[in-house]
Structure 1
Amino acid sequence: MPKYELMPIGAFAQRSGLTSSALRFYADSGLLPPAEGDPVSGYRYYSTDQVARASVLRRLRELAMPLVAVEAVLGSGADEASRLIDEHVAKIVGDAAAVQQKAAVIKAALGTGPGLPVAAVMGPVLADAVEQVLTAAAHEPGMPAVGGLRIEVGHESVTLTATDRYRLSTRTLVPAEPPSQTWAGTVNGDELRAAVAAIRRSPLVRLGAVSNGIWVRMADREDRHCRLLPGDYPDHRLMLASLGEVSTRATVSKDLLLRALEEHPGERIGLHVADDGVSVVSADDGHPDIPLPAAVAGRAVQIWFELTTLYPAVSTAIGPDVMLDLRGHDQPVTIRSADRGDLTTLAMPIKSDHST
């Protein structure tokens, strides 16, 4: 290639975003050898065709990708390269989460002592409850508390609550041992989710409170620390206490209702509840209603939901049947197990021209 079509290392460094010293390193490592070199002066020259490879190399290194992995990506086709990048990112994210947890444990241990014993709960039961209730949590700018799990320990029960202001899920657990004292706090939901697998494999989990969070203590497993979230938690007790009288109650198969919701084509879903059962209704007149057998008591009502609100509320219910307590088309619906009432979810309806 004629010299006038080549770039000296300084010009190529400006085009590629790599420093001259980095280019020399990558040339010596074989990742980006120059197009030509002057054996007398030692000058290195690069072609315009090498700019794209150099730019990709730079971006991969910005991801903290090691040279061996960079070489594999650069030598692969698009699909394999994407897989290798995803694999690297997943490792980085996992390592960061592990470091974050270890840092939280260290900070919690600095001057806080072992923590005040609060409650003891069966591990598998607690793990299920955390997964069920946290479906109602959300990350909202300016409201960190709604991304967490509210834990309230009473003299005879441990209550878990989460809400995104459109849904509210709450479950009451019977502790394995009488709680030593009352306690309440809003725990980081992401950190608690990360501990669920270990909690599920522990027959008994003990919760201990410290000033900035809770310790989750498990026999034969590393203790986990979950931080408390700042800010006031929404007054969910007031909302529960202010619910109106139930005007309609329907008991329907959980599996059949979920299947109907999955087959529904739209983002908004209507439930028409009448003496002959429950029908999943579409806002699109061209889509047929999906009738479901149900035991219904009370007056007929039609109520509309966002799919992202209703589906998780139904899917986390315990048991084969769900009970829907309705108070009218513009009031929250209570969704709970037909045979176990320790998990309760409120789902907020939406306005619709189709509602009656």
Structure 2
Amino acid sequence: MDPELMSIGPFAKRVGLTASALRFYDDAGLLRPEQIDPRTNYRFYSESQVARASQLRGLREIGMPLSMIGDFFDATPTEAGELIDEQVAKVAADAGAVQHAAAMLKASLVDEVGLRLGVLPGPVLAAAVDQVLATTVDEPEFPVLAGVRLESDPDAITLTATDRYRLATRTLVPTRASAVSWAGTVAGDDLVATMSRLRRSPTVTMTAAEHAVAFGLADGTTVHCRLLTAAFPDYKSLIASLAEVTHRVTIPAQQFLKALEQAPSRIGLRISDGQPSLVLPEAVVALDGASAGADLTVWFELTTLYPAVSHALGVEVMLDLRGPDQPATVRSADDGDLTALVMPCRADPS
């Protein structure tokens, strides 16, 4: 037996693993001993195996599965680095999922007594949530921008979201409303997690408690969404401070969307002789509809304008324009109304 070889005990201590772990990795084919005494079956390891054993320990510390570790040791350095990145991304995603599940569980630890906000058809509520969620943004410094403002009064339930560049407000008429007014900001990721269940429930009864909003489903189950404590942007003051509308254009929604689907990243909405059109780099697409007022062209980023139009209700969309550098309002109505505020951009330099 080579005197420079280490028995399993000293080698385990050297690489930070237990003897039982080394036996396990031997049986898994990931770290074979340099030699095995045929008489005693004792395992012996060499100095050259220290690096592999240390890597193996590190890979297990980041939760890499055995099958993936085998691929790691057979890979090139670049491929091995990619496997590490892949595992780290998976661990981070799993941790995020666990944190979210824990938060949802904590949100469910509320008293059954709460303020009943109203009853809505599940598919209608889910569609409204989807419409306004398009305007949220994941910004760690301002987590409230990933939330949805829920406001209830005896006449309507309103959902509002903003990323500070866009704003969307959806108003719904409940089948049974609350007798009092209430407002709170619901965590957007919780709403996303509950969307499919809301959509499948014929009715949803909303109840507000101190830390969460409970959505009672028709099958008797309840899902909870956390309430965010940070102040939601004062969007009502923003809307109240908007300049006077100079042009009001009504356009068939599907025609508008079809034209936008062919558009580049920046497009112009032009009003000329009372007729609207879409200005593209190589063409001007005429749109049905009409508008009074002086000639005007307002430029938009496609990523800002398209979501507002794609979520429009009914067959027509109305745009309130205030000038080339003022926020535009995209409005539609059908079983309530949907209003989106979108910021224009500078004229296309081309």
User: Do they superpose with TM above 0.5?
Assistant: yes
Which among 277, 286, 290 is matched to residue 292 of structure 1?
Answer: 286
> Does residue 103 of structure 2 align to residue 103 of structure 1?
no
Deviations 1:188-217 (A, max 9, x none): 111011111111111111111111121111
Q: 1:206 to 1:47 in 2, by over 3 A?
A: same
Which residue of 2 is the match for residue 130 of structure 1?
129
Deviations 1:297-332 (A, max 9, x none): 122211122332222112111233322211111111
- Which amino acid counterpart does residue 42 of structure 1 have in structure 2? R
Q: Does the 8 Å CA contact 1:326/1:334 hold for their aligned counterparts? A: yes
> Does residue 152 of structure 2 align to residue 153 of structure 1?
yes
Which residue of 2 is the match for residue 284 of structure 1?
none
- Deviation (angstroms), 1:231: 1.9
- Deviation (angstroms), 1:152: 0.8
Distance in 1 between residues matched to 2:286 and 2:213, nearest whole Å: 44
Distance in 2 between residues matched to 1:323 and 1:170, nearest whole Å: 15
> Does residue 321 of structure 2 align to residue 323 of structure 1?
no
Q: Does the 8 Å CA contact 1:337/1:344 hold for their aligned counterparts? A: yes
- Which amino acid counterpart does residue 291 of structure 2 have in structure 1? A
Which residue of 1 is the match for residue 250 of structure 2?
251
Which residue of 2 is the match for residue 21 of structure 1?
18
CA RMSD across the alignment: 3.7
Distance in 2 between residues matched to 1:32 and 1:335, nearest whole Å: 61
Q: Under a length normalisation based on structure 1, what TM-score does the superposition of the two structures give?
A: 0.79
Q: 1:239 to 1:86 in 2, by over 3 A?
A: same
- Which amino acid counterpart does residue 19 of structure 1 have in structure 2? G
Distance in 2 between residues matched to 1:329 and 1:347, nearest whole Å: 12
- Which amino acid counterpart does residue 16 of structure 2 have in structure 1? T
Q: 1:35 to 1:174 in 2, by over 3 A?
A: same
Distance in 1 between residues matched to 2:127 and 2:70, nearest whole Å: 41
- Deviation (angstroms), 1:61: 3.0
Which residue of 2 is the match for residue 241 of structure 1?
240
SS at match of 1:133: helix
Q: Does the 8 Å CA contact 1:121/1:177 hold for their aligned counterparts? A: yes
Q: Under a length normalisation based on structure 2, what TM-score does the superposition of the two structures give?
A: 0.80
Unmatched segments (≥5 aa) in structure 1: 282-286
Q: Does the 8 Å CA contact 2:126/2:195 hold for their aligned counterparts? A: yes
SS at match of 2:18: helix
Percent of residue pairs bearing the same amino acid type: 40
- Deviation (angstroms), 1:221: 4.9
Distance in 2 between residues matched to 1:181 and 1:338, nearest whole Å: 25
Distance in 2 between residues matched to 1:103 and 1:259, nearest whole Å: 45
Map 1:186-197 → 2, pairs under 5 A: 186-197=185-196
- Which amino acid counterpart does residue 187 of structure 2 have in structure 1? N
Distance in 1 between residues matched to 2:300 and 2:12, nearest whole Å: 58
Distance in 1 between residues matched to 2:61 and 2:289, nearest whole Å: 60
Deviations 1:204-251 (A, max 9, x none): 111111111211111325311111112221111112222222212223
Deviations 1:23-82 (A, max 9, x none): 61442332412252252763223757x957973x55653443554x5468669997xx89
Which residue of 2 is the match for residue 180 of structure 1?
179
SS at match of 1:181: coil
Q: Does the 8 Å CA contact 2:121/2:202 hold for their aligned counterparts? A: yes
- Which amino acid counterpart does residue 286 of structure 2 have in structure 1? L
Q: 1:226 to 1:36 in 2, by over 3 A?
A: same
Unmatched segments (≥5 aa) in structure 2: none
- Which amino acid counterpart does residue 18 of structure 2 have in structure 1? S
Which among 34, 37, 42 is matched to residue 35 of structure 2?
Answer: 37
- Which amino acid counterpart does residue 45 of structure 2 have in structure 1? R
Q: Does the 8 Å CA contact 2:263/2:302 hold for their aligned counterparts? A: no
Distance in 1 between residues matched to 2:232 and 2:22, nearest whole Å: 56
